[in-house]
Amino acid sequence: MFGKSLGVSSSHLVGGVNLSEIPLEFWNNENVVQFLKQSNFDDSVIQLFQTQQFDGIALMNISVEILVQLGVRRGVAISIANRVKEIKQQEQKKKEQENNNGMVTNATSSSSSPISNPSSSGGGEVCKDPATKNHTEDLTEEDMNEMREMGQDMHQGNLDSTWSGSSSNELSSSLGKASYINVAECSPWNVNNFSSEQHKYREFCMKKLGVVMKDYGPAVAETVCQNLIFHERFLYKFLNPQRLPQYQSSGVNKPKESYLKVKLVVTELSEASAHRLIRRFGSVLGYTKGTAYGMFHTALIIGPWYLEWGDSSIAVVRKRSSSKAVFTLDVDTIRGSEVNIKLVELAKVCAEWNRTQTYHRDTCNCQYFTETVIERLGLKPAFDKKVEGPIKTYLDKLKKHGVCDLAFHVDKNLKNKLLTTNIDQKITDSDMYHLISEMREKISKSSTIEFKTHKDLDKFVKAVVHVLPLFTSTPDYLFLKGFDRAFWLRKEATNHNPEICLPLLSSSNGCLCPFNPQQNVLIDDVHMTVCGKDYVLEENCVLRLPSFRTDNM
């Protein structure tokens, strides 16, 4: 299909791969290099793409201006962009033709089974699409382990309440041993009864599950897919109070008002997720494989449920977060009869994204998802009131780039005070004078300060507080305290790069961290509390087993 535009024929392929059989979003770096060679681009351009490890998703998102910044001549950059645009148009045309000619063959083929087997080999692989296979081969063992955990969460459902008051470093529950025998599972519906629109959505989601559900059979994958795209099934499986241990074991029902606290949480990406983003977007985001510290994204805590959207393109309730909390924002509380209404709306948003959206670092990232949920729940006015100053700047950056690093923006007012306040009489030692001089030099050069290490953060804050003692009562200070928490959590959780996580130390190895004056402090004494009981749900709440309808999405 792409043979003419790419200069490719089935009888003459560089590298022996027919790129027309692999959707652009699933190209690995070797496929991208093959495309450039077949398009007769210079070796210098090919070398650049090899060095940066650009894959298909990066190629789809890269702009002419970014290519020029990377050293590609503008004319060549325009040519690359035009070729990519042509491929995307051809892929879109192919999809439209497939939709017009009928939906997925395995959904319309005659079968006595209520489930159409996506894999004729019966090997449990959800999608035999070569693109999915190609994409799987690109994943590291860390990636695969992370995908398996996600698959397990989607298969088992939300068996735990998400937060507990335990001292666990992870945002996880300690309530995982209750019995759920009283909650009937919803069997997969017969796909042969699906409408054409339902077939389209099912196929779209199934492709996402190719890697995540690789270790499960087709029947399980079918059930998971349907639970993700039909909002009534999503509600029943993932947002069902009956699946929470404390409601399974409750005694006499007591009248109590239901409520759900809604929080936005900034978390550190797992190393596997961060490395995937670096591989995909590399220089586009300004990150490299040598990035010294983690990257961060947002998720939501809604009552007992932790909800996230990541590069798997799946809105999913997790039993535990795949990362560590750095900062939380209490958005609002949903109360009374509104709880059930909002849970239905939440399920609708998640199902819509699972059947229609694909992760995109610029237009469909974690922050777009969290803000969409907040708006659909009717909480945007409360959210807008809470988001100000450094928090707003940080979330805006997250929304623009999909991920964010440990960087702090010094606004004009603060910058002016730090540079002009007379501190001669406040300085008592040469070390402090050096810290203040270093801080002033940094903010004079740039209003954005990036903290590569814990020491960098400590030195900056220590100098700022010495110049402006009241800084400790500002939103900026609380925001930077979240960064401090990230370093302490990293110190507790990692065995590599320990120097990055160590606080500022004196010559006698005393801890000089302005947030936590003791170095050997327990993690419980360091972190900002994000755990606790943030919900009450009706104990007699019973969700009906969903039933199939052709208009049910």
pLDDT band of residue 501 (cuts 50, 70, 90) is: confident
Q: Which CATH class is domain 3-100?
A: mainly alpha
Is the pLDDT at 395 greater than 90? The verdict is no
In the structure, what pLDDT confidence band is assigned to residue 112 with cuts at 50, 70 and 90?
A: very low
Of the pLDDT bands very low, low, confident and very high (cuts 50, 70, 90), residue 48 is confident
Q: Which of 144-153, 373-382, 448-457 has the highest mean pLDDT?
A: 373-382
Using the predicted structure, report yes or no on whether residue 339 has a pLDDT greater than 70: yes
Looking at residue 380, its pLDDT comes to 95
Backbone angles phi, psi at 73, to 5 degrees: -60, 145
Q: What percent of the chain has pLDDT over 90?
A: 27
Write down the pLDDT at residue 295: 66
Cα Rg of the chain (Å, integer): 26
Residues 259 and 536 sit within 8 Å (Cβ to Cβ): yes
- 416-443: per-residue pLDDT in tens? 999 999 887 666 678 888 999 999 999 9
Kindly report the backbone phi and psi dihedral angles of residue 353, in degrees, each rounded to the nearest multiple of 5, phi listed first.
-65, -35
CA gap 118, 203 in Å, rounded: 10
Q: Is the model more confident about 343 or about 11?
A: 343
Residue 7 pLDDT: 37
Check whether 101 has a pLDDT greater than 70.
no
Q: How far apart are CA 437 and CA 159, in angstroms?
A: 54
Query: What is the arithmetic mean of pLDDT over 241-261?
Result: 68
User: Which H or E run includes 307?
Assistant: strand 305-309
Q: Identify the pLDDT of residue 18.
A: 83
Cα–Cα dist 300/479, whole Å: 18
Weakest-pLDDT range from 67-71, 86-90, 167-171, 359-363: 167-171
Q: Is it the case that residue 234 has pLDDT exceeding 80?
A: yes
Neighbouring residues of 492: CB distance < 8 A, sequence distance ≥ 6? 169, 523
In the chain, domain spans: 3-100, 130-401, 407-524
Cα–Cα distance measured from residue 221 to residue 151, given in angstroms and rounded to the nearest whole number: 9
pLDDT in tens, 346-356: 999 999 999 99
Mean pLDDT confidence for 102-107: 43
Query: If 0-12 CB within 10 Å is exposed, 13-18 middle and 19+ buried, where does residue 413 land?
Result: exposed
Q: List the beta bridge partners of residue 409.
A: 448
Q: Which token pair is 467?
A: 């110049």
Alpha helices in 115-217 (DSSP H): 130-138, 141-156, 196-212
Q: Are 156 and 148 in contact (CB under 8 A)?
A: no
Give Cβ neighbours of residue 282 (< 8 Å, ≥ 6 apart).
Answer: 52, 53, 54, 58, 288
Percent pLDDT > 70 in the chain is: 71
pLDDT of residue 416: 95
Range from 96-110, 482-496, 499-513, 533-547 that averages highest in pLDDT: 499-513
Q: Identify the pLDDT of residue 276.
A: 59
pTM score, whole prediction: 0.63
pLDDT(281) > 60: no
**Overall average pLDDT of the 498-504 stretch:** 82
Band of residue 327 on the pLDDT scale cut at 50, 70, 90? confident
Give the position of tokens 């961290």: 513
* Model confidence band, residue 248 (pLDDT cutoffs 50, 70, 90): very low
Per DSSP, 221 falls in state: H
Strand-strand pairing, 305-309 and 448-450: unpaired
Residue 296, pLDDT score: 75
CB distance 70 to 48 below 8 Å: yes
Least confident piece of the model among 65-79, 122-136, 257-271, 408-422: 122-136
The mean pLDDT of 496-504, rounded to a whole number, is 77
What letters, b where the CB count within 10 A reaches 16 and e where it falls short, cover 232-267?
bbbbbbbbbbbbbbebbeeeeeeeeebbbbbbbbbb
Beta bridge partners of 298: 266
Residue 538 has pLDDT above 80, yes or no: no
- Give the chain's mean pLDDT: 75
Q: How confident is the model at residue 377 (pLDDT cuts 50, 70, 90)?
A: very high
The per-residue pLDDT for 286 is 45
Q: Which residue has the higher pLDDT, 303 or 347?
A: 347
Which residue type, as a one-letter code, is found at position 388?
E
Residue 322 in this model has a pLDDT that exceeds 50: no
Q: In sequence order, which residues have a C-beta less than 8 Å from that of residue 446 and are 6 or more positions away?
A: none
Distance of alpha carbon 273 from the chain centroid? 8
Q: For residue 189, which phi and psi values (nearest 5 degrees)?
A: -85, 155
pLDDT of 189 > 80? The answer is: yes
Question: What is the reported pLDDT for 456?
Answer: 94
